[in-house]
Amino acid sequence: MKTLRLAQLLLLFFSVVGAALLNAAEPYPLDYFAVRSAVSNVEVSPNGKHVAMLSNPSKDGDPYIEVYKTDNLDGKPFRLNADPMEITSFYWVTDDVIVFRARQQVRDKIDGFNQGVYEFVLASVNIKKKKIKKYEQAGASISNILPAKKNKVIYSFVPGNFKSSKLSSAFRPRAYYELNLKTGAKRLMFRGKISMGQVETNGEGKPWLARGFDIQTGTLSWFARVNGEGEWEEFYSQHEDSFEEFSVKGYDTEKPHIYFVVANNGKDKAGLWEYDVRAKKFGELIYARKDVDIVGTLSHSNYWTDPDKQVAVSYTTDRTHREFFDGQEAAVYQQLQGIVPDAYYIRVNSRSRDGNTLTVYNQGPRDPGSYYLLHKGNFNKIGSTYPLLKPEGLADVKYIKYKARDGRTIPAYITVPNGKPPFPAVVMPHGGPFVAEGIRYDEWAQMLANNGYLVLQPQYRGSRGHGMEHYLSAFNTEAGGQGGYKMQDDKDDGMMYLVEQGLADKDRLAFYGWSYGGYAALIAAARAQNIYQCSIAGAAVTDNQYQVNHYRARIRGSGKLEQLRFWDDSISPIEEVDKVNIPLLVIHGSVDQRVPPAHAHKYMSEVKKLGKKVSYVELDGADHFSNTLFYNHQKQLYDSIIGFLKNECGPGGL
């Protein structure tokens, strides 16, 4: 199969520039981590006769859709690109029609906070007739591919009158249209308003769930239409200041008035609950844990026959685990666990209508991502996202817990390089900071580990997924925001724990982070009693007030309490420049919409005034998010990081 030869094409490229595959004891060239995904988004057609994927045989090109016959994977594929646009995702909607989303850079500079340089369009292609249709609604995204309605999908977008609204994006209502892919005709299904604007539809396209907001009372409300029929009825509400989780994940297809919700319901850890929308009350607690929150549910593997069925509940500790309440689906995943190499996180990401043909995705510390096809009893590998990265050259990830200096238990992941400890070590906290992190394959951690560095990723206070109290302790206390205070201690204490365990060398410690992690890296560089030899701050918030003032006037409720208490009370790096006492590297994208590049420019201006020796790298054309970091950005980023660690991190480098 030609897709399987993508690795050969990439290897040919590296042989031309003088690089070759190295054995497991030597680091891979940084290019191997910087290249774009070779294969992604592998899906089988509803009739099981074709398998489509996004393929990219070059290190820095845009992907194209490639379609093979499942009976002849070595045959000539149908190929489609969207030049000058980049295809970002696609879905099968009929046996012959694929709908896809594409983006194009339309400006060189950001158009304000959270206003990036890309615009998106929808289009479809008939692989039999080889005809493409473009649908003109800018910014639209697919909400439902409607398995019960041939040639129809539901798309949605934020109408123009709400795009510039000062309301947080969480409250902006969307308009929903049913689109006939064959004729291009569209039918308005539901035009959202603030009081009822976020709608979910079932496999038949019937709205069954909506969410709204009352600006006057500050009340969030949820509405139901059982089986998508009858009038909307409010079934649950809570004040916007509440920090409690309440999110609807689906409903019981046999008892459609029973919804499945992830909620705290007065408890520290969020669990999966039944909720009776007719009686308007919680029912049975389906599953909960004492150590972590429930992440959500897993949908049935066959979207064409069971689009609305939930089959398992999931949670994350050392890895993502599932507890099934559907025996047949449990058996499918158990069988796959036994036949997929380096099985770690497995997902059936598409299945034919008859259930006999399916594609499977696996990802883990020693597998950046692999796709498989099960067809007519044969189980074959379709391709790898990064075929140059072999399992033996990658590193294991371990889940640990340690005590912070005030006694709080901090869960963490460590990526352990091949070799013997103690290792030089890098703490790499996640961005956010108020997000949940579960490690499957982390490119940055693996790149660092492949170069000999032990990587610590702590779930410091404020991280989600570990209960309400752990989250709130970052800002909702008498002491206020803990950025630069106890949240920073959590990172330092984790590194010293690794030193005590004999895993890390206390004289070779470094800090690297992106976004909030970059903010923490700036704080680390200015700590009075510094345990680090150097620090690297990527896409960092350097000025707390400059950042929060972008959205101070348009956030409300718990989001406002979280953001203002955190940023207003925490240490601001721009005020600590004079205290920087270790080598520091600042990296920023030139079109970063989430943390505008003015953050880096202001910080470096202060550096210059004070005569501090701080290095700066700007990634031209890079936004804040990973899907906007192309090969040239990644290569420059990785070269900068490794070069800095080895040559400028302390007297002898790390």
pLDDT given at position 625: 86
Q: Match 């997000």 to its residue by tokens.
A: 435
pLDDT single digits (tens) 473-522: 999 988 899 999 999 999 999 999 999 999 999 999 999 999 999 999 99
pLDDT single digits (tens) 64-92: 999 999 999 999 999 988 777 788 889 99
pLDDT given at position 134: 85
pLDDT given at position 138: 67
pLDDT given at position 104: 66
pLDDT given at position 13: 41
pLDDT single digits (tens) 396-432: 999 999 999 999 999 999 999 999 999 999 999 999 9
pLDDT single digits (tens) 434-451: 999 998 999 999 999 999
pLDDT given at position 24: 45
The backbone region for 58, taken as left when phi is positive above 0, alpha when psi lies in -120 to 50, beta otherwise, is beta
**Mean pLDDT of the residues in the chain:** 91
Per-residue pLDDT band for 159 (boundaries 50, 70, 90) equals confident
Q: Distances in Å between the alpha carbon of 198 and those of 193, 233, 523, 639? A: 8, 14, 39, 43
Query: Would the pLDDT of 1 be above 90?
Result: no
pLDDT given at position 288: 98
Residue 520 to residue 536: CA distance in whole angstroms = 10
Query: Would the pLDDT of 163 be above 70?
Result: no
The larger pLDDT score, comparing residue 578 to residue 138, is at: 578
Query: Would the pLDDT of 587 be above 90?
Result: yes
Residue 207 to residue 200: CA distance in whole angstroms = 6
The answer to whether the peptide bond before residue 458 is cis (omega within 30 degrees of 0) is no
Query: Would the pLDDT of 299 be above 50?
Result: yes
pLDDT given at position 122: 86
Q: Match 């972590």 to its residue by tokens.
A: 292
Query: Would the pLDDT of 216 be above 70?
Result: yes
Q: Which residues pair with 23 in a beta bridge?
A: none
Query: Would the pLDDT of 16 be above 60?
Result: no
Beta strands in 136-288 (DSSP E): 141-144, 152-157, 175-180, 186-191, 198-201, 207-214, 219-224, 233-239, 246-251, 258-263, 271-276, 281-287
Question: What is the rounded average pLDDT of the residues 139-152?
Answer: 88
Residue 458 to residue 437: CA distance in whole angstroms = 9
pLDDT single digits (tens) 535-555: 999 999 999 999 999 889 888
3-state secondary structure of 469: helix
Query: Would the pLDDT of 272 be above 50?
Result: yes
Question: Any idea which of 182-196, 259-273, 366-380, 384-398 has the lowest mean pLDDT?
Answer: 182-196
pLDDT given at position 653: 86
Per-residue pLDDT band for 17 (boundaries 50, 70, 90) equals very low
pLDDT given at position 8: 42
Residue 12 to residue 592: CA distance in whole angstroms = 34
Is-above-0.85 flag for pTM? Answer: yes
* Residues, the chain: 654
Question: What is the rounded average pLDDT of the residues 144-166?
Answer: 79
pLDDT given at position 369: 97
Instruction: Break the chain into its structural domains and give their ranges.
Output: 408-647
Q: In the CATH scheme, what is the code of domain 408-647? A: 3.40.50.1820
Query: Would the pLDDT of 335 be above 70?
Result: yes
Number of CB atoms found within 10 A of residue 218's CB: 13
Question: What is the rounded average pLDDT of the residues 186-210?
Answer: 92
pLDDT given at position 19: 38
